[in-house]
Amino acid sequence: MVDIQTPLTSTSPLVTEPAPRAPRQYRDRFLTFSPPAIGEEEIAAVVDTLRSGWITTGPKTREFERQFAASLQAEDALAVNSCTGALHIALAALGIGPGDEVITTTMTFCSTAHVIEHVGATSVLVDIEPDIMTMDPAAVAAAITPRTKAIIPVHYAGHPVDMNPIMALAEEHGIYVIEDAAHALPASYEDQPIGTIGHLTAFSFYATKNLTTAEGGMLTGSAELVERARIFSLHGMSRDAWKRYGVGGSWFYEVVEAGFKYNMTDIQAALGLVQLEKLTAMQNRRRLIMERYNQAFGARPEFQIPVERPNVDHALHLYVLRLNLDKFSVDRNRFVEEMFARNIGVSVHFIPVHLHPYYRDKYGWQPEDFPVAYREYQRMVSIPLHPQLTDTDVTDVIDAVLDVADIFGLEGKSA
């Protein structure tokens, strides 16, 4: 297990021009794209929970909610089984349903749009800003109609959406804002933590996220809205399970909504409490890796490195390298194949929502309907960025990327 607090070695200086390199020696073992950063502390916390006699939603879940809210200075927090669940109950708690429209971005994972469909509302997609690849506020303004009831901004890759114009539009039109912050822990916009800007904010603790509970999520917002969402999160009952079965609890409950089964367990919360303590150290490691990537790729004409605007703190969830395809003799898909051939796991985030058959067929969208998202999708590749990467791992990733560029880049050797 790699110590997540170990810095990159000072013997690998950051440079703006690549030095001549010896012939490549590829890794003999595959480098996983984004494994969970789980240590002995997390294992011990889970074992302690298993021995406690309380493994479902209980005191550790409540403590995780309390500490998480405090870490963001949010008014309240609700731990759930996933970010998808958090988004779904947010819409339900706000009374959004058939006849309503919800605006979100096409550059997101499908679950952001799915929850809109789940409550019977209409998905309205908008295009992205080309630098940070988050929803374009001007496109949002153009998409608002009298039926618009909510906006779901997605903080893509960990970079916050430009929230001031989004919140101004919401106030002007009486619209709710539900932030999809699956990538955005910890991030901030204009010195305000993500999780405290919109009316409600949904976080993900999936295995690949900056903080993981294996599966899980959190919803933050005002105490009033979170309490309403809490009812929806567990069958619509007026009392949740741990109050019914704990000391001083009552057997009596009433079902006041047609709710869902989205509660988090104490096993998951035990993981989350330890991960929350480690979050700063893990983020510091991510920052060092990102800086090294930027220095390695920033001077190469074949690449566009991620942008970080000066008014934000980036959560550094993904390192999305964009290929300047006019400088390559191959496309993005071949680039991905070449990285796998060098034993480096990479991915693509994301296939835009409007390209998926369900949404394409239901709404009649064409690829060029959202031209910026479609263009950027065709040239993006996510390379490994996680706190367990060793200095050698980082070097291997850099060498593999530059090797592919040297072989297939038009300014170097031709394929």
Question: How far is the C-alpha of 325 from the C-alpha of 303, rounded, in Å?
Answer: 9
Q: Is the pLDDT of residue 21 over 90?
A: no
Q: Alpha-carbon distance 81 to 104, whole Å? A: 22
Sort 255 into a burial class: Cβ within 10 Å, 0-12 / 13-18 / 19+.
Answer: exposed
* Tokens 């390379």 -> residue: 383
> Using CA atoms, how far apart are residues 48 and 53, in angstroms rounded to an integer?
9
pLDDT of residue 248 exceeding 60: yes
pLDDT, residue 186, reads: 98
Please give the single-letter amino acid code of residue 381: V
For residue 14, pLDDT over 80 is answered with no
Please count the residues of the chain.
415
Q: What is the pTM of this model?
A: 0.93
* Residue that has been written with the tokens 């869902």 in this structure: 260
Whether 60 sits among the annotated catalytic residues: the reply is no
Please check the confidence at residue 15 and state whether its pLDDT lies above 50: no
pLDDT bucket at 241, cuts 50 / 70 / 90:
low
C-alpha to C-alpha distances, 122 to 19, 149, 222, 240, nearest whole angstrom: 53, 10, 26, 31
- In contact, 315 and 290? CB cutoff 8 Å: no
Cα-only R_g, the chain: 22
pLDDT in tens, 333-368: 999 999 999 999 999 999 999 999 999 999 999 999
The CATH T-level fold of domain 279-408 is: Aspartate Aminotransferase, domain 1 (3.90.1150)
Return the ∠ at Cα 375 (arms to 310 and 384), rounded to 5°: 60
Options 209, 261, 278, 362, the catalytic residue: 209
What is the distance between the alpha carbons of residues 20 and 35, in angstroms, rounded to a whole number? 32
d(CA 296, CA 303): 10
Instruction: Spell out the residues 6+ positions from residue 231 whose beta carbon is closer than 8 angstroms to its own.
Output: 93, 237, 238, 256, 257, 259
pLDDT tens, residue by residue, 98-153: 999 999 999 999 999 999 999 999 999 999 999 999 999 999 999 999 999 999 99
**CB count, 10 Å around CB of 63?**
16
Q: Which residues sit opposite 76 in a β-bridge?
A: 221
The full set of domain ranges for the chain reads 40-273, 279-408
Sign of CA dihedral 284, 286, 287, 292: positive
Fold of 40-273: Aspartate Aminotransferase; domain 2 (3.40.640)
CA-nearest of 163, 175, 176, 168 to 135 is: 163
Q: Is the pLDDT of residue 11 over 50?
A: no
